[in-house]
Amino acid sequence: MAAPLGQRTVVVGAGPVGSLAALYAASRGDKVELYELRGDLRDPSTTPLNFTKSINLALSERGINAMRHASSPALLDAVFKETIPMYGRMIHGEKQGKLFDEAQLYDVHGRFQRAVDRGGLNKTLLDSLEEMPNVTLHFNHKLIGADFRRNLAWFSDHSSSSSSSSEKEVHFDFMIGADGAHSAVRYHLMKYARMAYSQEYIDTLWCEFQIPPSPTNTFKLPSNYLHIWPGGSFMFIAIPSLDKTFTSTLFLPASLFASLDAAPESLIPFFTKNFPGVVPDLISEPELLKQYKQNPHLPLISIKCSPHHFAASAVILGDAAHAMVPFYGQGMNAGLEDVRVLFDFLDAHPASDYADSPAAAREAALEAYSAQRTTDAAAINDLALRNYKEMSHDVVSPLYRLRKFVEEKLDQWVPALGWATQYSRVSFGNMRYSEVEKATQRQGKIISRVINLAVGGVVGLGLVSLLRRGPLWMARHGWNGAAMKLASVVMLPGALVRVMMGQGTLLFYPFPGRTR
């Protein structure tokens, strides 16, 4: 249901999330004002807040679905033209002195993510906004104060060419804060809302690199993959860009960065040992050293807070509400999904249900939104933190591959079971993040039990075979008393196996004293 004509909605932050929120509000008839701290983000000369191009984005179903419902039919087509499909991960390494690469598809049904340039996506969204008569854009405006009881905000205006700035007072009916991890809206909101807040800097920094095109202006690596060089507690990744480059990122513990900073001559040997094939095949040694020194080594922050709103006045979305580490590629997607979910709640609480009071309706909607979204935001925050281990270590683990294979085959062969990998649920569906987490935990318990029983059965059969040969045979073949006792301790808790002679059937019974 459209909002009353003339409702004044102020959006702070003109990144992808703020721009989409402004688009949703404008399509419902609001008078929208969009304020951005920086200059016009479509201008190449505008300096990003972290002084780097930043990690390339992976656009997945949640972000796509949010734009699909933005009442802007041409938006998705324009966005898709500026993306590159990524069908899976390409794992790189070295075995016995030879380089290898191994593709791991994201999804058994062939679904894919899209590599997208942050600036290009932002430009498309802002261009769509400029076409709407009820939207005004204000760049170089900094939020310096807000009163969420009187619905007033104050901005310093740096848009003029002079060194001085002017201050303006803005009245609003509704404020949407999408101004990033160090949000000014959240800072002022915390003076009014009883907000529980936590932030964590993980012990990993990141540094960006660029892999140039080949001399024939083609990609140096297969373009339809996210490339990973896993290193255990660190990794190097590469994501394709439209200009045939790869935006690459080195993730390292802070202590390793400090060691490399103290001895720059060790950078090339470090890459050669841990990320085989990168130097000099993809990046020359001088260029690697240059980029390492020039590009900042930036922290990774994880933020949780609750609630995400105050009364009927304001709400925070995206990184302002739940900044997360980039290891699930869900930061932007979750922020775009925030917009869709928020306006679903606003539409579900029309003013006509609240004595024609837009403020009362909005307050009820924000209360419901905050209750649901804080739970889901916390879930994807945790999933993103855990996925670092998967990307940097588990992708080469036999157990990880076994579980992925089992889950994908069940999804493919027995779809009625509703089985799917966690990654597929997160990246290719719109199930709530908290429900994804619960479903994954249920599946994990079932698979763990099956694997335990299977391993226990195999081990138990081996023990039965040994015991049937008798202690004399075991002693004759080097099984001393200590070894036989150890074998019993290791094997028996796995499973008790009864072989029904003549039936060819194995029955597995969990050992009653075993802790699972």
pLDDT in tens, 315-347: 999 999 999 999 899 999 999 999 999 999 999
pLDDT at residue 494 tops 50: no
Q: Considering the chain, what percentage of its residues have pLDDT values greater than 70?
A: 81
pLDDT tens figures, 459-481? 555 555 655 565 555 556 555 55
Question: 276, 99 in Cβ contact below 8 A?
Answer: yes
pLDDT tens figures, 12-64? 999 999 999 999 999 999 999 999 999 998 887 776 655 455 557 899 999 99
Question: 345, 339 in Cβ contact below 8 A?
Answer: no
Instruction: Pick the range with the lowest mean pLDDT from 42-51, 182-191, 210-219, 416-425.
Output: 42-51
Check residue 507 and give its pLDDT.
32
pLDDT band at 446 (very low <50, low <70, confident <90, very high): confident
Question: 39, 140 in Cβ contact below 8 A?
Answer: yes
Check residue 400 and give its pLDDT.
66
pLDDT band at 163 (very low <50, low <70, confident <90, very high): low
pLDDT band at 159 (very low <50, low <70, confident <90, very high): confident
Residue 252 CA to residue 313 CA, distance in Å, equals 41
The mean pLDDT of 84-103, rounded to a whole number, is: 94
């270590």: which residue's tokens?
393
Question: 66, 337 in Cβ contact below 8 A?
Answer: yes
DSSP annotation string for 114-140: EEE-HHHHHHHHHHHHHT-TTEEEE-S
Comparing 511 with 392, the larger pLDDT belongs to 392
pLDDT tens figures, 75-91? 999 999 999 999 999 99
The mean pLDDT of 249-259, rounded to a whole number, is: 96
Check residue 28 and give its pLDDT.
95
Check residue 476 and give its pLDDT.
60
Comparing 158 with 48, the larger pLDDT belongs to 158
Q: What is the dihedral of CA 94, 211, 239, 295, to 10 degrees?
A: 110
**Encoded tokens for 257:** 């960065």
Question: 333, 62 in Cβ contact below 8 A?
Answer: yes
pLDDT tens figures, 106-142? 998 999 999 999 889 999 999 999 999 999 999 999 9
Comparing 328 with 397, the larger pLDDT belongs to 328
Domain assignments of the chain as residue spans, ordered by start: 8-82+117-195+307-388, 423-509
Check residue 497 and give its pLDDT.
33
Check residue 503 and give its pLDDT.
33
Check residue 45 and give its pLDDT.
74
Residue 499 CA to residue 514 CA, distance in Å, equals 21
CB neighbours of 287 closer than 8 A, spacing ≥ 6?
212
Q: Where are the beta strands (DSSP E) in 67-216?
A: 83-86, 88-95, 98-105, 113-116, 135-138, 141-147, 152-157, 166-171, 174-177, 196-211
Average pLDDT over the chain, rounded to an integer: 85
pLDDT band at 509 (very low <50, low <70, confident <90, very high): very low
- Model pTM? 0.84
**Encoded tokens for 328:** 């699930």
Q: Thinking of the domain 8-82+117-195+307-388, which architecture would CATH place it in?
A: 3-Layer(bba) Sandwich (3.50)
- With 0-12 / 13-18 / 19 or more C-beta atoms within 10 angstroms meaning exposed / middle / buried, residue 418 is exposed
DSSP state of 47: P
CA 240 to chain CA centroid, Å, is 17
| Backbone φ and ψ of 227, nearest 5° | -95, 135
Check residue 502 and give its pLDDT.
33
Residue 18 CA to residue 74 CA, distance in Å, equals 19
Residue 230 CA to residue 427 CA, distance in Å, equals 21
pLDDT at residue 393 tops 70: no
Could you tell me which of 134, 179, 106 has the C-alpha nearest to residue 8?
134
Instruction: Pick the range with the lowest mean pLDDT from 31-35, 256-260, 287-291, 328-332.
Output: 328-332
pLDDT tens figures, 189-205? 999 999 999 999 999 99
pLDDT at residue 2 tops 50: no
The mean pLDDT of 353-376, rounded to a whole number, is: 97
For 225, other C-beta atoms within 10 Å of its C-beta total 25
| Backbone φ and ψ of 247, nearest 5° | -80, 115
Residue 367 CA to residue 89 CA, distance in Å, equals 39
Residue positions counted in the chain: 516
For 47, other C-beta atoms within 10 Å of its C-beta total 10
